[in-house]
Amino acid sequence: MIRELRTEVLPPEDWGNKAANLAKLLAAGLVVPPALCVQEGDLTASGNSLFLLRWLASVREDRVVLRCSTQDEDTRSTARAGHTLSLLNVPRSAQHIRRAVVTEIEPVLAGHTGGKSCIIQGQVSALVGGVAFRDETSLRVEGNYYSTEATTAGQAPNIVFTEQHGGRRWQYDYAPGIPLRRLGDALSFQTALVYDLFDHSVDVEWAFDGSVIYILQARPITATLSERIADDL
Amino acid sequence: MISKSDAVHLFQHYGLEGLPARVLRAQDVRSPQSLSVLFPEEARFCVRSSEVGERKNLPRLIDCTVDQAYDWIHHQQTNTVIIQPYDDLIFSVELVVDGEMVVAELVPGIWELDNRAAPCTVATTDMRSYSVDTPVDPQPVKLWSSSTNTATCQWAHTDDWQIDAYIEWLQDNALSLERLRSHTSGCIGIKLHYARRYGLSPQNIRTESVLIPDLTAPTSGAMRAPLLNSPFQELPAASAVRLDVSLARESSNTLDDFARALCSKGIATVYLRSGLLSHMAIILREQGLKVHRW
């Protein structure tokens, strides 16, 4: 089955937790890049490639990201972050996408049980991108310039930002035109919404294009990460 | 101690001048025209007194005509004056340079003794990476209105462009600042204004009681200290207090008395919202109090 990410519920037992979480975020009014969710074998079935072409015509971004969504990751007890595949910078062509899904994504999905899907998502051109950890009283953000994946890939962040007790502290490599306060305001507001939505400490991957925060992924933080935030702050 | 007039000469010598300034002996100001020829394109001015061994809060006149400036100069008992074009003050900076470490506090609008705004703090040791602390909420700031010739209070943030403007000024003038600091042989404090037309403009230099403040984030302990909103409030029996006190520019004697009273009561630590580089923080540290932020 193919489903475009909208404000409807995507049950995790059909689509995996990543897709279900993105649909939840979108339904709550957060900005999520446009995405198509497909299940194993869907893109090779006749008729569905036309749907892909039509959907791609509505996507503004030049590149797409392909992500695995499974039911045994992104839960409160286990994040399994990085245990499934994400492919970035895939050209926005039906042929490239179909080949990448069939040859790389579906073999990974085959190794998982329960609900699962492939998310095909417009790749945001980011001024800053990174990860935010939000719990009840504090926020910690790490980000890198002009990248959505550098922080999660383990590169030293260009920006580290913490918020607590009514104050914000930034440590950053100066680059002109990075709107710190605007970024901080947007991240603080958006991650608070995600926290309320999940009713749990959350790990949020985000991209900022200078005006808008896009939520790329969100998952509950496992206990280990919450303790680390407390130590860092 | 560096007088305001000496500071003007030093800024000019090291290429740091923004808003232009002229230092005059009062006796040489023989007519309003002798002032207007200094800045022929300008219609409004600011005049400040300057003395050797400067007292605090010397008289000044803000946003005046050349005739008003002339009259004021000859009514003041001051030998030296500094005249500058009037320009809207967008934000203020208190800067401390100590070798490699440079710390600044930025506040929108005018920063005087009555400031209650928690500043945005910017610190660096290498001019490439910066630590910036900002309050989340807008702060109570004072802005001069040239239409009413008064200061008005508003709520504002330190904007991103202001932080960028300060950092770029710092990077562009790093060498000149270091030369100025070496000239004075120690840690220096500089007060700057960002003027609408002239950008960041140094105004004063301090060499006494200047140090890099403790920039560690406020602790939960700070929030438990008793809060004082007035220097006339009864002092609690505590080793630490939080201050949210505003004093008029002319009330620095009150501040001196207040600081001494805090020490006499056994208070050793003061938590301030309104800037660790502020005049208030300096006076408190001079009295031996530890000053932190909250």
Compare all CA atoms of chain A with the CA of B119 and give the residue at the minimum distance. A167
User: In sequence order, what are the beta bridge partners of A160?
Assistant: A142, A171
Spatial contact of A90 and A99, defined as CB atoms under 8 Å apart? no
pLDDT at B253: 78
pLDDT in tens, B199-256: 999 999 998 888 888 777 666 677 788 999 888 888 998 899 998 887 776 677 788 8
For residue B38, the distance in angstroms to the closest alpha carbon of chain A comes to 36
pLDDT in tens, B246-261: 777 667 778 888 888 9
Beta-carbon contacts of A11 under 8 Å, excluding residues fewer than 6 positions away, are A20, A115
From chain A, the residues in CB contact with B217 under 8 A are 164-165, 167, 169
Select the residue from B102, B160, B166, B223 to test the A interface by mutation, using most A Cβ atoms within 10 A.
Answer: B160
Gap between the Cα atoms of B78 and B164, Å rounded: 38
User: In sequence order, what are the beta bridge partners of B98?
Assistant: B101
Neighbours of A209 (CB within 10 A): 14
Least CB-CB distance to B128: which of A164, A174, A188? A174
Q: Give the mean pLDDT of B4-28.
A: 94
Residue in A53, A230, A29, A203 with CA at minimum distance from that of residue A131: A203
| Residue keyed to tokens 């946003």 | B63
Distances (CA, A) of A34 to A101, A124, A126, A132, B120: 17, 10, 15, 21, 37
Chain A residues contacting B, CB < 8 Å? 163-174, 176-182, 184, 188
User: In sequence order, what are the beta bridge partners of A91?
Assistant: A63
Query: Which segments within A40-108 are labelled E, that is strand?
Result: 63-70, 86-91
pLDDT at B144: 82
User: How many beta-carbon pairs under 8 angstroms link A with B?
Assistant: 61
Least CB-CB distance to A174: which of B118, B129, B159? B129
Parallel, antiparallel, or unpaired: how do β-strands B269-272 and B290-293 relate? Answer: parallel
Select the residue from A144, A168, A180 to test the B interface by mutation, using most B Cβ atoms within 10 A.
Answer: A180
Gap between the Cα atoms of B149 and B73, Å rounded: 19
Cross-chain residue pair B133–A170, CB shorter than 8 Å: yes
Neighbours of A28 (CB within 10 A): 14
Give yes or no for B168 touching A (CB within 8 A).
yes
Is the pLDDT at B185 greater than 90? The verdict is no
**Model confidence at B278, in pLDDT bands (50, 70, 90)?**
confident
Q: ∠ at Cα A38 (A130, A24), nearest 5°?
A: 50
For residue A188, the distance in angstroms to the closest alpha carbon of chain B comes to 10
pLDDT at B247: 77
Compare all CA atoms of chain A with the CA of B220 and give the residue at the minimum distance. A165
For B223, the 3-state DSSP assignment is: helix
Give yes or no for B135 touching A (CB within 8 A).
yes
Neighbours of B155 (CB within 10 A): 11
Give yes or no for B237 touching A (CB within 8 A).
no
Asked whether this complex has an ipTM greater than 0.90, the answer is no
Spatial contact of B23 and B86, defined as CB atoms under 8 Å apart? no
Written as tens digits, the pLDDT of chain A (233 aa) is: 888 887 678 999 999 999 999 999 999 999 999 999 998 888 776 555 778 888 899 888 899 999 999 988 766 655 555 566 889 999 999 989 999 998 999 999 988 889 999 999 999 999 999 999 999 889 999 999 999 888 888 888 999 999 987 888 999 999 888 898 889 999 999 999 999 999 999 999 999 998 899 999 998 886 554 454 444 44
User: In sequence order, what are the beta bridge partners of B104?
Assistant: B95, B122
Cross-chain residue pair A170–B217, CB shorter than 8 Å: no
Residue in A44, A43, A45, A37 with CA at minimum distance from that of residue A14: A37
B278, HSE (Cβ side, Cα atoms, 13 Å):
33
Distances (CA, A) of A131 to A213, B161, B215: 12, 24, 25
Least CB-CB distance to A163: which of B136, B163, B223? B136
Gap between the Cα atoms of A8 and B229, Å rounded: 53
Instruction: Number of helices (H) and strands (E) in chain A: give both, helices first.
Output: 7, 11
Gap between the Cα atoms of B190 and B278, Å rounded: 11
From chain B, the residues in CB contact with A163 under 8 A are 136
* Phi, psi for A83 (deg, rounded to 5): -85, -15
* Phi, psi for A130 (deg, rounded to 5): 175, -150
Is the pLDDT at B161 greater than 90? The verdict is yes
Select the residue from B132, B168, B216 to test the A interface by mutation, using most A Cβ atoms within 10 A.
Answer: B132
For A146, the 3-state DSSP assignment is: coil
For residue B117, the distance in angstroms to the closest alpha carbon of chain A comes to 13
Beta-carbon contacts of B139 under 8 Å, excluding residues fewer than 6 positions away, are B107, B108, B116, B117, B118, B155, B156, B157
Gap between the Cα atoms of A187 and A142, Å rounded: 11
Cross-chain residue pair A181–B128, CB shorter than 8 Å: no
